[in-house]
């Protein structure tokens, strides 16, 4: 069982503008960097296991794309061996690891409020509001997938409306639908700030691909920290979660 305790003794809160929120996220990320790295390693290991199970070779697939000479008229991605199973299991993996990202947000809050961080904190999402985290992950995944279906660009306009969902689920113990409604209402009223912060956060998260392909594991979790900083800016310092022994 968990309890929520109010606290107001320490912890920084950014101003409600993109620059302040991103700067705050950078400061927070430095404190949980190693744990974020561990979370990504877990994700990568899961990805390697899926490739082994499905037989889909993403590296070989990338080579096929490069060797295609720019002619994709006869290129059928769905015909690639194991691709369908790979996509399905990858989606399932992302769903099951969503509580891990929530755990990272929890660690950021502990760092911000100068509370000692424990490795087990990374897995709090599997103990705190687990079912609603999964439901929210499914709903938000469907929303972003539909946006991506029309074109990748609409994702950048839709995703800001979902940015507060995970922090709300964690710190307010909300239901998935309540979290979805609350993040949507707050984001639409402050859409300019949410859009700018989300786009910049995503670009920074994918900076590892540009700097060094494998470096994505160092930068990808940054967007989760941006979610926390947005929550602090618009909803104040979160409540502290404690567990009954």
Instruction: Report whether pLDDT(62) > 60.
Output: no
Task: Provide the pLDDT for residue 53.
Answer: 86
Domain carrying residue 156? 2-68+78-243
Instruction: Report whether pLDDT(242) > 70.
Output: no
**What are the C-alpha distances in Å from 15 to residues 12, 20, 31, 200, 241?**
10, 6, 20, 16, 24
Per-residue model confidence as pLDDT tens digits over 141-156: 999 888 877 776 788 8
- Identify the band that residue 207 occupies on the pLDDT scale cut at 50, 70 and 90: confident
Task: Provide the pLDDT for residue 61.
Answer: 55
Please give the mean pLDDT across all residues of the chain.
85
Per-residue model confidence as pLDDT tens digits over 87-123: 888 889 989 999 999 999 999 999 999 999 999 999 9
Task: Provide the pLDDT for residue 5.
Answer: 47
When divided into structural domains, the chain yields a total of 1
Residue 118 maps to a domain: yes
Per-residue model confidence as pLDDT tens digits over 20-38: 999 999 999 999 999 999 9
Torsion angles phi and psi, residue 205, rounded to 5: -65, -35
Q: What is the pTM of this model?
A: 0.86
Q: Please check whether residue 168 is in contact with residue 229, taking contact to mean a CB–CB distance below 8 angstroms.
A: no
Task: Provide the pLDDT for residue 9.
Answer: 47
Residue 73 maps to a domain: no
Instruction: Report whether pLDDT(84) > 60.
Output: yes
Q: Please check whether residue 45 is in contact with residue 110, taking contact to mean a CB–CB distance below 8 angstroms.
A: no
């Amino acid at each position: 069982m968990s309890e929520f305790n109010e606290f107001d003794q320490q912890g920084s809160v950014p101003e409600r503008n993109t620059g302040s929120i991103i700067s705050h996220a950078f400061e927070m990320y430095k404190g949980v960097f190693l744990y974020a790295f561990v979370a990504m390693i877990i994700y990568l290991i899961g990805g390697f296991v899926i490739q082994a199970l499905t037989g889909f070779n993403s590296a070989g697939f990338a080579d096929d794309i490069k060797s295609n000479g720019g002619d994709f008229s006869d290129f059928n991605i769905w015909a690639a061996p194991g691709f369908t199973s790979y996509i399905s299991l990858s989606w399932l993996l992302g769903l099951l690891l969503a509580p891990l990202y929530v755990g990272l947000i929890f660690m950021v809050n502990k760092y911000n409020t100068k509370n000692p961080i424990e490795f087990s904190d990374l897995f709090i999402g599997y103990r705190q509001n687990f079912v609603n985290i999964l439901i929210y992950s499914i709903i938000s995944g469907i929303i972003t997938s539909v946006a991506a279906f029309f074109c990748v660009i609409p994702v950048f306009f839709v995703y800001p409306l979902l940015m507060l969902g995970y922090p709300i689920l964690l710190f307010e113990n909300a239901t998935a639908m309540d979290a979805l409604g609350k993040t949507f209402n707050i984001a639409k009223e402050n859409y300019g700030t949410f859009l700018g912060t989300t786009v910049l956060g995503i670009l920074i998260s994918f900076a590892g691909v540009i700097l060094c392909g494998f470096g994505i594991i160092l930068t990808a979790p940054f967007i989760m920290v941006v979610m926390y900083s947005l929550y602090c800016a618009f909803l104040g310092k979160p409540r502290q979660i404690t567990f009954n022994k």
